[in-house]
Amino acid sequence: MPVKLRITLLFTVLAGLILGIVCVFVYYYFENSRTASIKTRLTNRAITVGRLLSQREIFSNELIRRIDSSTSFVLKNNVILAYNSNNQKIYSYSSLTGDSLDVSQQLIDNARKRGKITFTAGNKEAVAYRYVANGMELVTIAAGEDAEGKEDLHSLFNILMVSFLAGLSLAGLGGYYFSKRLLKPINKIATDVKDISAMSLSRRLVTGTANDEWHHLSTTLNDLLNRLQESFDIQKRFISNASHELSTPLTSISSQIEVSLQRERNAGEYKEVLQSIYQDVMHMSNLTQTLLQFAQASGTPGGLEIALVRIDEVLLRLPSEVVKANKGYSVLLNFDELPDEEEGLLVFGNEHLLFTAIKNIVMNACKYSNNHQAVVWLHSTEAGLKVVVEDKGIGIPEEDLPMIFQPFYRVNDNKQREGFGLGLSLASRIINLHKGRVEVQSELGKGTTFTIHLPGAKQFISEGKS
Ligand code: ADP
């Protein structure tokens, strides 16, 4: 059911409930006060007749009847009866000729016992009253029809019914109008969001000035759009950079082939061209490998092979692997202040990716220092493990520091050195994926220190349990 209809219904039901309670209350209040007033009148009439009958020496039945007939009374078709202590009818009067009231013995006894009882007989309301005076004990009964009161009650019922139905319809209309107004901004937001596509991601929702829930929703959606646009832009930049990096060696390969095919060459010349092409192909292969690793590290850890990894063992592989990549590079490992227990050296993660991340940073330390040497420290801390990679190299200019983790970013002065500008960005993605972080400190001409913080396996295990 649409929300608009649900609000309208809720509003109508609530208003109907309140109106209904008020109507029922008014009706019963009126009915109660009517019957109370009729009872008082009938009781007074019964007492008066009792009083007259107790003065037999002054009032005969005929006289009392005359008094009864000349007394104006609100009720119609009155009947007045009186019984003596032997339950014999000693007086009767009816304003309508031939009219009477069926009174049982039991009813008279009841009145005698309780002093006063009220009852109804057909359309008549009646009171039976025990009257004691001048040594006489009588039961007088006064009855009559409250036609006027009942008519008023009926009119009141009609008025209340009409008011209730009119109120209900008004509440329905009001509820519909109210819900339409209330939901108007959300419809507007939905239409605006529908118009925003990948092509128009720069568009934003109008947030308005009122500090209400709709404003909050629009600003939250705008924040989401900002983040989406940002990641779209990053992706676009990434794709254009990657295509550029791939097309450069491809252009070089095709032009080398084209030039060498223009005329006959000797074997040495062909070999030279092939070697150059081989280098370009290796460059492309390295780049595609790095891009693949990038894609792997860009997702969630869900698809990765996760295991307990001993970080000291990962670091121990570095010296040989770095030398394998470049014979001139060297790595010095420092494992002081290590915990005695093995658990203190464990992290939860993907060993291959962790090795790639640390190796990238170590390779940079060798690449960007004259002695081509990286010094690696392993520390155990409260929060987990800390790997520090130091070099005494060229350093990084302060203004470049915030950008070096962006994909394809390279410091201008170092562009002649081999690289794609992806190593640090890949490393920081991998470390982030492992819930860690990378910090950098650098001084131009003196050297650079990268610090990798990784949460210890204990923390992951306790998070997994909670
Ligand atoms: P690259 O392939 O260019 O090395 P990276 O993403 O690994 O790409 O590094 C980005 C840039 O950061 C490098 O081009 C380099 O200018 C700078 N850089 C990274 N590590 C160091 C370091 N240890 N010393 C000096 N500069 C560094």
User: CB of 419 within 8 A of CB of 408?
Assistant: no
Which residues are within 8 A (CB) of 205 and not within 5 positions of it... i.e. 6 or more apart? 189, 192, 193, 218, 221, 222, 225
User: CB of 223 within 8 A of CB of 230?
Assistant: no
User: CB of 208 within 8 A of CB of 215?
Assistant: yes
Calpha distance 440→438 (Å, rounded): 7
Residue 184, pLDDT score: 85
Average pLDDT over residues 297-321: 85
pLDDT of residue 116 exceeding 70: yes
Q: Which pLDDT band holds residue 202 (cuts at 50, 70, 90)? A: confident
Calpha distance 434→306 (Å, rounded): 10
User: CB of 47 within 8 A of CB of 131?
Assistant: yes
Decide whether any atom of ligand 1 lies within 6 Å of the 344 Cβ. Answer: no
Q: Give the H or E element holding residue 179.
A: helix 147-195
Calpha distance 426→89 (Å, rounded): 116
Model confidence pLDDT, tens digit, residues 248-264: 999 999 999 999 999 98
Residue 152, pLDDT score: 93
Decide whether any atom of ligand 1 lies within 6 Å of the 396 Cβ. Answer: yes
Residue 328, pLDDT score: 94
Model confidence pLDDT, tens digit, residues 59-86: 888 888 888 888 777 788 889 999 988 8
Least confident of 2-11, 265-274, 407-416: 407-416
Average pLDDT over residues 183-191: 85
Q: Give the H or E element holding residue 374.
A: strand 373-380
CA of 424 to the centre of ligand 1 (A): 7
Residue with tokens 């060798």: 366
State the amino acid at position 175 in one-letter form.
G
Calpha distance 332→46 (Å, rounded): 122
Of 380, 302, 384, give the one whose Cα is nearest residue 347: 384
Decide whether any atom of ligand 1 lies within 6 Å of the 361 Cβ. Answer: no
Strand, coil or helix: 391: strand
pLDDT of residue 187 exceeding 70: yes
Helix boundaries (H) for 326-396 = 351-367
User: CB of 364 within 8 A of CB of 407?
Assistant: no
- Residues 70, 71, 75, 77, CA torsion sign: negative
Calpha distance 368→404 (Å, rounded): 14
User: CB of 142 within 8 A of CB of 119?
Assistant: no
Pairing of strands 437-443, 116-121: unpaired
* Count of CB atoms situated within 10 Å of the CB of 454: 26
Model confidence pLDDT, tens digit, residues 207-248: 777 778 888 888 999 999 899 888 888 888 889 988 988 999
- Residue bearing the bigger pLDDT, 294 or 455: 455
Calpha distance 229→250 (Å, rounded): 31
Q: Give the H or E element holding residue 248.
A: helix 213-260
Decide whether any atom of ligand 1 lies within 6 Å of the 438 Cβ. Answer: no
Of 423, 425, 456, give the one whose Cα is nearest residue 298: 425
Decide whether any atom of ligand 1 lies within 6 Å of the 431 Cβ. Answer: no
Closest protein CA for atom 11 of ligand 1: 410
Decide whether any atom of ligand 1 lies within 6 Å of the 127 Cβ. Answer: no
Closest protein CA for atom 23 of ligand 1: 365
Give backbone dihedrals phi and psi of 104, rounded to 5 degrees, phi first: -90, 160
Average pLDDT over residues 191-216: 80
Residue 461, pLDDT score: 56
What is residue 334's DSSP assignment?
E
Average pLDDT over residues 320-325: 94
User: CB of 431 within 8 A of CB of 398?
Assistant: no
Calpha distance 444→426 (Å, rounded): 24
Per-position DSSP letters for 315-326, written without gaps between them:
HHTHHHHHHHH-
- Residues 196, 202, 205, 206, CA torsion sign: negative
Model confidence pLDDT, tens digit, residues 330-366: 999 998 777 778 888 899 999 999 999 999 999 999 9
Pairing of strands 373-380, 384-391: antiparallel
Residue 14, pLDDT score: 93
CA of 325 to the centre of ligand 1 (A): 17
Average pLDDT over residues 33-51: 92
Residue 418, pLDDT score: 83
Average pLDDT over residues 432-439: 94
Q: Which two tokens stand for residue 424?
A: 């640090």
Give backbone dihedrals phi and psi of 84, rounded to 5 degrees, phi first: -85, -175
End-to-end CA distance of the chain: 39
Pairing of strands 330-334, 373-380: parallel
Decide whether any atom of ligand 1 lies within 6 Å of the 389 Cβ. Answer: no
Model confidence pLDDT, tens digit, residues 149-179: 999 999 999 999 999 999 999 999 999 998 8
Residue 340, pLDDT score: 75
Residue 67, pLDDT score: 87
Q: Which pLDDT band holds residue 419 (cuts at 50, 70, 90)? A: confident
CA angle at 317 for the pair 374 and 381, rounded to the nearest 5°: 70
Closest protein CA for atom 20 of ligand 1: 364
Residue 303, pLDDT score: 67
- Residue bearing the bigger pLDDT, 404 or 211: 404
Q: Which two tokens stand for residue 207?
A: 């947030």
Average pLDDT over residues 414-425: 85
Decide whether any atom of ligand 1 lies within 6 Å of the 364 Cβ. Answer: yes
State the amino acid at position 353 in one-letter form.
L
Decide whether any atom of ligand 1 lies within 6 Å of the 426 Cβ. Answer: no
